[in-house]
Amino acid sequence: MEYRKEHDTMGEVMVPADRLWGAQTQRSLENFRIGTERMPGEIIRAFACLKMACAQVNGSLGKLDSARAKAIEQACGEILDAGQQSDPGNGGTGQDGGDAAGITAAEFPLVVWQTGSGTQTNMNVNEVVARRASQLLADAQAGGQTATQTGGQAAPVHPNDHVNMSQSSNDTFPTAMHVAAKLSIEEKLLPALDGLIAELQRLEAENAGVIKTGRTHLQDAVPITFAQEISGWRASIQEVRAMIVASEEALSKLAIGGTAVGTGLNAPEGFGEAVAARLSELCGTQFASDPNKFHALSSKDAAVFAHGALKALAADLMKIANDVRWLASGPRCGLGEIRIPENEPGSSIMPGKVNPTQCEAVTMVAVQVMGNDAAIGFAASQGNFELNVFMPVIAYNFLQSARLLADVMESFRANCLAGLKPNREKMAENLEKSLMLVTALNPYIGYENAAKIAKYAHSKGVTLREAASDLGLLTPEQFDEYVRPEKMV
């Protein structure tokens, strides 16, 4: 492999010649050989949008010359284009860097386990954008176009002086976190939620007249329609959707403009507000400058609050998936009240066995999200003075949760709920055997006499109707008049 010399304030570093990154990225690669978790592609995309917005605002304020601003903007556009093809946060690899290929996802190789401020990822983006923007300026000059020049050559774009102008890692990384989190919710999570809600609404409408036994404490309870049971699932998802949407307000507030400690040193007045406005246009969703940058840099409460809503979604999905696999248990020795799609063989030794694998995937994702929530909460509690230094792990866990939840909801919808069917015969059989139908007799013979009927029927192995007659509490005709399951729902 060929190398080139790059330098930073600490000296020279050898960097692979075919890569666009510089000395600080290379130092991070060499100093943090920890794990396989790479900075999520959503963060890189958010940084590209942010650097583009900052260049545009710096250019409009006269702080950055138009040629460099345009070149930075073009380089950031290449990152966004590359992000459509490959996600480094999921192990994606792009083509080699360079003039022909432009910027690919492979230019962002840094691990999550780095400096807690995310400085090295900020510099990774700064270095890649700076080198690529310099190439673009040189190409423009070679093509006879106007370029900023020094001694007849296109002036380079510096990662700190130009790409990072009016910024600090301490305000760019939390800004990128919020942008990535909000976009992951709006672009991935909410569409998957809406698809799941629509599927549940369809099932609810189709099963309005199907009566079955209800269950509490895993024990038989009074009757319920299958549609009513499904409505509980549907309402829980709708409720948590509203919670997630409500959490977006806090994520909309951005730290940009606070620079190093929240004072805004080296940023022009109104910079944060102007960048937030540009980001709103670029991303197609609303952002605003956080009115208190000291809070924005040091507190991660917005991520905690929003991820709490994701944990609530995980809890509801866990409940729904468990209900489905309990109801589908069997097919002969379980409840067997519903049938779910048979997608793949369930055992390497038991022929013909089929398992509720989609439900299991949902519950595993729910466990992961709950673990992520604990990590995010702990990380957010560790802010010291003017900065929180656990931001990469917060970002990684949040985005993983959003991604997993969106994916598993769509998988569960398409591969399980879409083919779910009630086993009406089994539901009717279980309903007829349920001792809790006796509850309908309370107004007529009282709780204690109704309990006598239920206990007698259970101990003797007879029906409630037979027990009521044997005990002399009701005639068969009276029992039939009072116990009407369709009237109990």
pLDDT tier for residue 101 given thresholds of 50, 70 and 90:
low
pLDDT score of 217:
97
Where does 246-386 show beta strands of DSSP type E?
A: 253-254, 288-289, 338-339
pLDDT in tens, 440-466: 999 999 999 999 999 999 999 999 999
* Residue-wise pLDDT tens digits, 112-140: 999 999 999 999 999 999 999 999 999 99
Query: What local confidence, expressed as pLDDT, does residue 85 receive?
Result: 63
Active site residues: 217, 347
Q: For residue 141, what pLDDT band results from cuts at 50, 70 and 90?
A: confident
Is the entire prediction scored with pTM above 0.85? Answer: yes
pLDDT of residue 153: 53
**Distances from the Cα of 315 to the Cαs of 305, 365, 367, 373, in angstroms?**
15, 10, 9, 12
Question: Which segment of 93-97, 338-342, 367-371 scores lowest on mean pLDDT?
Answer: 93-97
Indicate whether 96 pLDDT > 60: no
Judge whether residue 87 has pLDDT over 70.
no
Q: What is the mean pLDDT of residues 340-347?
A: 95
pLDDT reported for residue 146: 52
d(CA 332, CA 354): 12
Please report the pLDDT score of residue 91 as a whole number: 40
Q: What is the pLDDT of residue 460?
A: 97
